[in-house]
Amino acid sequence: MRNACVPASHHFLERALALLYPPTCVLCGAPGEAGRDLCAGCHADLPFIGAHCARCAQPFPTPAAPTLASARRADPLCGRCQQAPPPFARCTAAFRYEAPLSSLVVDIKFRAKLNLIRLLGALLADALSAERARADWQAPAAIVPVPLHPRRLRTRGYNQALELARVVGRRLAIPVDHRCCRRTRATQAQTELDERLRLTNIRDAFEVMGPVPRHLAILDDVVTTGATVSELAWMLTQAGCERVDVWALARTP
């Protein structure tokens, strides 16, 4: 597992870089705030997750009408999770996958704008830090970024989920384990498929390498139908993991 402890030299380097290259908002070009490349106005305009399913983080289109069931439960479940709960315990997403956040995700995923990784990772860490206030919150033993197939990794040159996980791991002092599982099949891109085909496309696409701890958190950039993280969560539970959470920068509405 990757050690998440941050040496003092790392903090010194960050401060030195901030003095040499003052933060500038990546969305409007104004001076950044709090040492980040994002101004206060653009930060406020980001599509924060809002009301969502307590299990899969599916955003609700409108505030749910109060019912007896929702009155007894602080966080309502979507219809799908009530009928067929996913194999993970809880998904935490920072944002809806909407503009302008969606354009930043596209930039890191397909345009190699890796300068955005630190900002987006910090924003996800903010959301996860807020989750720590929940009475039922439990820290995982490690963060597992969704792996890419070696062929796609060679083409892209990096795994954006791993890079985001490294930022989150440093911020939350949780190790990153990118070796406990691997992608065994070069599947078709999930974005090119409908929901039904995504489920079959990703089936048996992962392999768990060796024993796993009791509690892990899968990290991905965007959760759409949940097919990928569900398949990986199922594989980890089959390997002995007792609780799997999912952490994502964004969730599609």
What the block records as the tokens of 186 is 């070069």
Provide the percentage of residues in the chain whose pLDDT is more than 70: 81
For the chain, report the end-to-end CA distance as a whole number of angstroms.
33
Instruction: Give the burial class of 124: count Cβ atoms within 10 A of its Cβ; 0-12 exposed, 13-18 middle, 19 or more buried.
Output: buried
Give the pLDDT of residue 221: 97
The conformational region for residue 147 under phi > 0 = left, psi -120 to 50 = alpha, else beta, is beta
Select from 95, 114, 81 the least CA-distant residue to 50.
95
pLDDT digits (tens, 9 = 90+) for 149-205: 999 999 999 999 999 999 999 999 999 999 999 999 877 565 555 566 666 778 888
Confidence (pTM): 0.85
pLDDT at residue 101 greater than cutoff 90: yes
Domains of the chain and CATH, by start: 14-45 (no CATH), 50-189+199-251 (3.40.50)
Q: What percentage of the chain exceeds 90 in pLDDT? A: 72
Which residue's entry shows tokens 């999770």? 81
